[in-house]
Amino acid sequence: MKRRNFITRTSLNTLALGLGINSLANANFKQNQLKLKPSEKLASGPVAICTWEFTKANATAGALLDQGLPALDAVIKGVAVEEENIKNTTVGKGGSPDREGNVTLDACVMDHTGNCGSVMAVESITNVAALARKVMEDTPHVILVGKGAEEFAVESGFTAENLLTPETEKLWKEWLKTSDYKPVINIENHDTIGMLGLDKDGNISGACTTSGLAYKMKGRVGDSPVIGSGLFIDNTIGGAAATGMGEEVIKTVGSFLIVELMRNGMSPQEACEEAVNRIVSTNPNHTNFQVAYIAINKQGETGCYCIHPGFKMMKYSNGENNPVVAGSHLK
Ligand code: SD4
C-alpha cells in the first residue's frame, strides 16, 4: 500500500474514533469481514504461535485447537504450562523477583470479540493469564493490580502461594552482592510467553504472561499486561504479541501498531519488521536491549522479527510444532 493511502486511512480512522463518529470505522470493519469468505476461514487449519522456544506450551495450545477448543481457552491453557514451570525464571511461579525479593507477575488476555483483561504486579497467584480472563469476564473492569487483583483471585477460587522458589531466592541474593542492573538480551532462549491462537472457527485470541524484568524496581510494570503493547487482537485482521524490553514496546504501542500495519496491507512478517524498525530508527541505544514480536493474520499467515539474533517463535500448524528462527535487525 502506498504511504499516502496508509496515512490517509490511519488518520481518518483516528479522526472517526476521536470524534465519536464510528460510521467510517464500521465501514472498514464490514469491509474487512467481507474479505473472509466462509470457505477461506479454515484455509490454514488451527494455528498456535508463541514467543521463544516454549515447545510444550505451544504444543498444548495447538493440540487443544485441533480438538476444537476456542482460541482463548487454548492459549490460556498453553501459557499455563510455563506459568507452572518453576524451572522457568521468567514466567509465573519461580519467576525472578524484583530487587526487593518480591516476585510480581503481569498478564493479559484478549479475545476475538475485542474483550480484554489484565492483571499487574500480582505477588501470590501462579496462573495470572487465567486470572486476567476472570477480570475480563467477571468484573466491570479491564485491569486489576496488586492486592486488589490478589483478593479478587482468592475470592474467585485461585490458590494463593509463595512464588519465590529457593533457586530464584538464591540467584537474587547473589545479584544483591553487586546490584548491577542491566538489561538481559536473551535469557537462555526463553522469556515472557506471548501466545496467539487461531481456532477452527477462524477466531483469534491471545495471552501474554511474565514475571517481568529480573531485579526491576518495586512497582515496575512492563508491556506484557498492557493491552496494545504486549498483546493486541483484532479478530477482523489478526493479532500480535511482544517480548523483550517492555519500556520500548510501550513507547511504540508495539502490538497495536503491528495489527494496524496489517490492517493497512502488510503481511505479519512485514508488520513485525516495521514495528522493530520504529524502535531502532529512533533509539540509538537499541544495541543494548532486545525486543521481539510475533504476529498472525486471519488467513493463518505468521511472522516474527527482533532486534538481536537469538529469538525464536514456536509455530504449531497442521499437527506439527516447530521453532522458527526470527530474522533480526542486528546481524
Ligand atoms: C517486560 N516484556 O516486563 C517483559 C519482559 C520480557 O524479555 O519479555 N523480557 O518488560
pLDDT along the chain (331 residues), means of 10: 39 38 38 40 82 97 98 98 96 96 98 98 98 98 98 98 97 94 65 96 98 95 98 98 96 98 98 98 93 97 96 97 97 92
| Residue 157, number of CB atoms within 10 A of its CB | 7
Do 16 and 161 fall within a single domain? no
Do 14 and 45 fall within a single domain? no
Do 264 and 278 fall within a single domain? yes
CATH number at residue 140: 3.60.20.30
Check if 287 is active-site: no
Please answer whether residues 129 and 207 qualify as being in contact, where contact means their C-beta atoms are separated by less than 8 angstroms. yes
Do 286 and 190 fall within a single domain? yes
Please answer whether residues 76 and 109 qualify as being in contact, where contact means their C-beta atoms are separated by less than 8 angstroms. yes
Bridge partners, residue 120, by sequence? 145
Nearest CA to ligand 1 atom 6: 244
**Residue 261 grid cell:** 500495519
Range of the domain at 4: 1-35
Supply the pLDDT for residue 190. Answer: 58
Supply the pLDDT for residue 182. Answer: 77
Do 147 and 22 fall within a single domain? no
Give the atom of ligand 1 at the shortest distance from the alpha carbon of 186.
7
Mutation pick for ligand 1 pocket among 50, 54, 192 (CB with most ligand atoms within 8 Å): 192
Do 200 and 278 fall within a single domain? yes
**What is the whole-number distance in angstroms between the Cα of residue 223 and the centre of ligand 1?**
7
Do 188 and 252 fall within a single domain? yes
**What is the whole-number distance in angstroms between the Cα of residue 120 and the centre of ligand 1?**
13
- Ligand 1 site, residue 235, Cβ cutoff 6 A: no
Give the burial class of 55: count Cβ atoms within 10 A of its Cβ; 0-12 exposed, 13-18 middle, 19 or more buried: middle
Give the atom of ligand 1 at the shortest distance from the alpha carbon of 230.
2
Segment 289-307, tens digit of pLDDT: 999 999 999 999 999 999 9
What domain count does the chain have?
Answer: 2
Which of 324, 314, 326 has its CA nearest to residue 78? Answer: 314
Supply the pLDDT for residue 96. Answer: 95
Give the atom of ligand 1 at the shortest distance from the alpha carbon of 211.
3
Do 22 and 42 fall within a single domain? no
Do 147 and 259 fall within a single domain? yes
Four-residue CA torsion sign, 295, 275, 260, 118? positive
**Residue 75 grid cell:** 492459549
Nearest CA to ligand 1 atom 7: 244
Do 17 and 50 fall within a single domain? no
Q: At what angle do helices 128-138 and 71-83 cross, to 10 degrees?
A: 140
Nearest CA to ligand 1 atom 10: 246
Do 26 and 62 fall within a single domain? no
> For residues 302 and 31, what is the distance between their CA atoms, to the nearest angstrom?
22
The length of the chain in residues reads 331
The active-site residue, picked from 51, 60, 192, 252, is 192
What's the alpha-carbon Rg for the chain, to the nearest Å? 19
Give the burial class of 209: count Cβ atoms within 10 A of its Cβ; 0-12 exposed, 13-18 middle, 19 or more buried: buried
**What is the whole-number distance in angstroms between the Cα of residue 14 and the centre of ligand 1?**
29
Q: In Å, how far are 47, 65, 204, 316 from 320, measured between CA atoms?
A: 10, 12, 19, 5
**What is the whole-number distance in angstroms between the Cα of residue 214 and the centre of ligand 1?**
9
Binding site annotation covers 206? no
Biggest CA pair distance of the chain: 61
Binding site annotation covers 246? yes
Supply the pLDDT for residue 257. Answer: 98
Q: In Å, how far are 10, 19, 129, 188, 258 from 15, measured between CA atoms?
A: 9, 6, 33, 44, 20
Do 20 and 92 fall within a single domain? no
Report yes or no on whether pTM surpasses 0.75: yes
Supply the pLDDT for residue 188. Answer: 52
Four-residue CA torsion sign, 73, 74, 77, 82? negative
Supply the pLDDT for residue 181. Answer: 86
- Ligand 1 site, residue 194, Cβ cutoff 6 A: no
Host H or E run for residue 152: helix 146-155
